[in-house]
Structure 1
Amino acid sequence: MALSDDIRLLAQVPLFQGLDDDQLRLVAFGAERRSVAKGQELFREQSPAECAYVVARGRLDLYTVGRDGIADLARSAGPGTLLSELALVTMVERKFTAIAAEDGEVLRIPRTLFHRLLEEYPAVARILEQRIRDNLVGLAKAAAAMQGRFA
């Protein structure tokens, strides 16, 4: 795939929407495109996350292990989905296992690349910080809404 295809893909990712071509080019140029074959594990739940992934082609199934030790399908992720967003900012553990449901490709975005984007474009840092904050608030609200299920 061409660099311009990766720039177009990144422009569709909510976290990166509104970034200009130079900013997206920096991320696209530094990202690593990886192929994933159907059934291949991209990463495992509770493993350290030093990067995020954007699904470029195909579909990944995301599993979590329940209390019974059985993996449950949490959701699927298709093109344009950003996985492990917080890994771009700090060291975290993966919250699920990602397995390719079909042949596809992902863009691997290392934390160091994301930090370089923020260093070179400080205004972007403020925009992305607010987007990440909004996403965390949304997750907290969703978790609070489900609290009654677990009481």
Structure 2
Amino acid sequence: MLDHKIELLQQVPLFRGLSEELLEAIAAIGQKTFFEADAKLITEGETGSTAYLIMTGKAGCPRIEAGELYVEDLWPGTLVGELGMLVETVHSVSVTAQERLRALAFSRDAFRATMEKHPELAEHISEKLLVRLHGLAAEIRRVDGKLAEIEKSEQAA
């Protein structure tokens, strides 16, 4: 069963590139959890301290795209609530089981203990988060530039 956990962990962008030893250490702290259809894995506005790796079944996450509300399907290999296992956070979305699903739960305490035991894991996570922050900063600059263009054109009119 550990091999299946490793395969799913390898699909998670945050864990991509980790050695099998580190993936096994992460898999070992995951607690098997079940959610029935319509049960919430994470709830918007609530504080989270656990991430869930979907192993079987399907969950959904409401999204707004082009002004339309739709539910994004989340399949095995998806990690939800990942910030909760790293830092205290308030969830910005809800994720609901669309059918009975099995997940691995990673608590913040267990994940931190694993990072302390394996400093290379903490370094890897830091690097991945830094890349994400750079991407977010670039996107904010792009949006800011677009807003400045709109403001400039409105002032000229």
TM range (shorter): 0.7 to 0.9
- 1:35 correspondence with 2:34: yes
Q: Deviations over 1:6-56 (max 9, x none)?
A: 122112211112222221122111111212222222221111110111111
Per-residue deviation, residues 96-124 of structure 1 (Å, max 9, x unmatched): 11111222211111111221221112122
Opposite residue 134 of structure 2, the aligned amino acid is: V
**1:143, distance to aligned residue in structure 2 (A):** 5.7
1:1-151 aligned within 5 A: 2-63=1-62, 72-73=69-70, 75-142=72-139
Going from structure 1 to structure 2, the CA distance change for 1:48 and 1:128 (only over 3 Å counts) comes to same
Check the 8 A contact 1:56/1:106 in 2, yes or no: yes
How far residue 136 of structure 1 moved from its aligned partner, in angstroms, is 3.2
| AA in 1 matched with 2:107 | P
Q: Aligned in 2, Cα 1:22/1:8: closer, same or farther, shift over 3 Å?
A: same
Q: Aligned-pair RMSD on alpha carbons?
A: 2.5
- Structure 2 residue aligned with 1:68: none
Change (3 A) 1:144 1:95: farther
Q: Is the 8 A contact 1:63 1:96 kept in 2?
A: yes
